[in-house]
Amino acid sequence: MYEYYTEGTCSTKINFDIKDGKLSGVIYENGCNGNLKAIGALVEGMDAAEAVKRLKGLRCGNKGTSCADQLAKAVEKHL
């Protein structure tokens, strides 16, 4: 299980695992509960590199990042 402390988002931490190149158990701490549960559900079992490709660079409002982008950065760090 990996832990990643986010920067620039309402969520403060992401826990996740990568098994056989696939994402699992994505759980955010704090932030928009429903939306973050949805991100976790959508990427469950997804190829980790594909998730990075799809989520990297997404922004939330006028912020330079988003919770999805932070997940991409976290996964990329551990690939």
**Who's near 72: CB < 8 A, 6+ residues apart?**
51, 52, 54, 55, 56, 57, 58
Q: Is 31 helix (H, G, I), strand (E, B) or coil?
A: coil
Contact predicate 67/39, CB 8 Å: yes
Predicted pLDDT at 50: 98
Predicted pLDDT at 57: 98
pLDDT class of 27 with cuts at 50, 70, 90: very high
Predicted pLDDT at 41: 98
Percent of the chain with pLDDT strictly greater than 90 = 100
- DSSP strand pairing (2-5 vs 22-29): unpaired
